Amino acid sequence: MINKRALVTAVAASSLALAASAQAEVKIGFLGGFTGGIESLTPPIFEGAKLAVAQVNEQGGILDGQTLSMPSGDTTCSDASAASNAADRMVNSENVTAIVGALCTGATIAAANNAAVPGGVVMVSPASTAPAVTELDDNDLVFRTVPSDAFQGDMLAKLLLDKGIDVVAVTYVNNDYGQGLSDAFATAFETGGGEVVANLAHEDNRADYRSELGSLSAGGADTLVVLAYADTSGQTVLRQAYESGMFTQYVGADGMVGDSLVEAIGADVLDGMIATRPGSPELPGTEIFESAANDAGFDPSAVFAAQAYDAAFLLALAIQQNGSAEREGLSEALRSVASAPGEVILPGEWEKAVELIAAGTEINYEGASGSHEFDENGDVPGVVVEMAVEEGRFVTKGQLDL
C-alpha cells in the first residue's frame, strides 16, 4: 500500500518546489511597435533592452539569483487600443514588475493611462519624445531615457538655419508625436528668422497624400520637412513628393531615421536628406555599450537602441535596490540608482552594482546614452545628432549644440 503520509509529504515538497520555481523569475515587460509605423526600427531597440537582461543573467541574476526575463507586447505604434491591451497583458497577466516602453508617444500615453498607472507599474520609455509625456498625471511612474522633442525641435530648426535653409514647408503625422515636434520646430525656426510657408497635419496609414502635397508646395518652398514614421505615412509622403517633383530637399526627424526608408524609396532619391535624432554623449558607457552590442550582433548606432539598453538596465538596478520584485517603491529606487551622488556604475557592471547595493552603498548609473538624471517629471537632458543620407544609408554627421 502507498504510505499516505509519505505521499502527502512528497506532494507538499513538489508544491513548494513549483512555487519556488514560479518565484524564481522577475519580469520586466517590453512594449514596442513590432508592426506599424516603426516596425523596421523596433527590432534593434528590443535587442538593446534584451542585452541588458542577458548581462544581468550572465552575472548571477537578480534578487539572489533569480532569472530576469522580458516578455514583449506589440502596440502597433498608432493603435491606442492595441497599446492598452498589450499593457494590460503585461500588468495583469504577465505580472511584470516594470515596463520598458512604449516607443511611440501615443502608445506610451495609452499604456500608462489604461494599465500601468492604475496597476502601479513603472514605465521607462526609450523613444517617446513628445512633450505630452511630460504632462502625464502618472503618480511618478512614467520616465524616459530620451530627451523631449521640445529640445529636438529646437535643434532641427537651428541645423537648417545654419545650413542656409530659411524657407520650408512642414507636414506632420496627426498625433502627439507629430504635433509636439512640429510645434517645437516651427516656433524655433520662425524665432530664428526662418519662414514656414505651410504646416499641415496628415493622417497616418493612407495611400495618397497628393492633395496635401499640393497645398504644401503652393508656398514655393523647395524644402519639405516630414515629421512622421519611416514605415508608414513618412515613406508614402516622400515617395509622392519625389514623384510630383515639387521639392528638391527633404528633412526628417527621429521617426524617419531608418535605412528601410532609403531602401524603399531609393538611395538616389534621398541622397542628401537631412535629419536629426537623439544621440549619445561622449561618456565612458557609450563605448562599452557599442562593444557589447557588436558582440551581441546588432547595430549599436540604431535609433533608440542605447536608450532602450539604459531603460532596461536602470529598471534592473532599481529592482535590486528595492530588494524585491514588488512594484511599490520602485520609482523611488529608480531615481536613487540613476542619480548622483553614488559609486558610478557603467553599462554591464551588474555584479559590481549588486555588491555595492548589498553593502548599503549608494550607486549612480552612467549609461550608454546619457547620465539620466531624471527631473521631477521623469524627463532627462540629452543630445541630438545630425544625420544625413549618404551612399544609400543614414550616417551620423555629429552632435548638435545650441
How do residues 50-84 score in pLDDT, each as one tens digit? 999 999 999 999 999 999 999 999 999 999 999 99
- If you average pLDDT over every residue of the chain, what do you get? 93
In a domain, 206, yes or no: yes
Q: How confident is the model at residue 32 (pLDDT cuts 50, 70, 90)?
A: very high
Work out the angle at residue 275's Cα, subtended by the Cα atoms of residues 272 and 278, and round it to the nearest 5 degrees.
145
Mark which of 222, 250, 280 sits at the end of a domain.
280
Give the percent of the chain with pLDDT over 70. 94
For residue 382, the model assigns a pLDDT of 84
pLDDT digit string (tens) for 232-244? 999 999 999 999 9
Give the cell for residue 35. 508592426
According to the model, what pLDDT value does residue 358 have?
98
pLDDT digits (tens, 9 = 90+) for 100-122: 999 999 999 999 999 999 999 99
| Same domain, residue pair 105 and 249 | no
Find the mean pLDDT for residues 30-38: 97
Number of H helices, E strands in the chain: 15, 15
Domain that holds residue 133: 25-149+282-365
In a domain? residue 337: yes
Does pLDDT of 5 surpass 50? no
List pLDDT tens digits, range 135-148: 999 999 999 999 99
pLDDT for the residue numbered 402: 67
Residue 187 within a domain: yes
Q: Is the pLDDT of residue 270 over 60?
A: yes
Give me the CATH number covering residue 225.
Answer: 3.40.50.2300
**Residues 327-352: pLDDT tens digits?**
999 999 999 999 999 999 999 999 99
pLDDT class for 401, splitting at 50, 70, 90?
confident
Residue 272 above 70 pLDDT?
Answer: yes
Shared domain for 159 and 276, answered yes or no, is yes
Structural domain includes residue 61: yes
- Pairing verdict, β 249-252 and 223-227: parallel
Long-range interactions of 80-87: CB distance < 8 A, separation 24+ = 80/106, 80/107, 80/109, 80/110, 81/110, 82/107, 83/31, 83/107, 83/108, 83/110, 83/111, 84/110, 84/111, 84/114, 84/115, 86/31, 86/111, 87/31, 87/111, 87/112, 87/114, 87/115, 87/116
Q: Is 195 part of a structural domain of the chain? A: yes
Q: Is the pLDDT of residue 13 over 80?
A: no
Residue 139 lies in a domain: yes
Q: Is residue 183 part of a domain?
A: yes
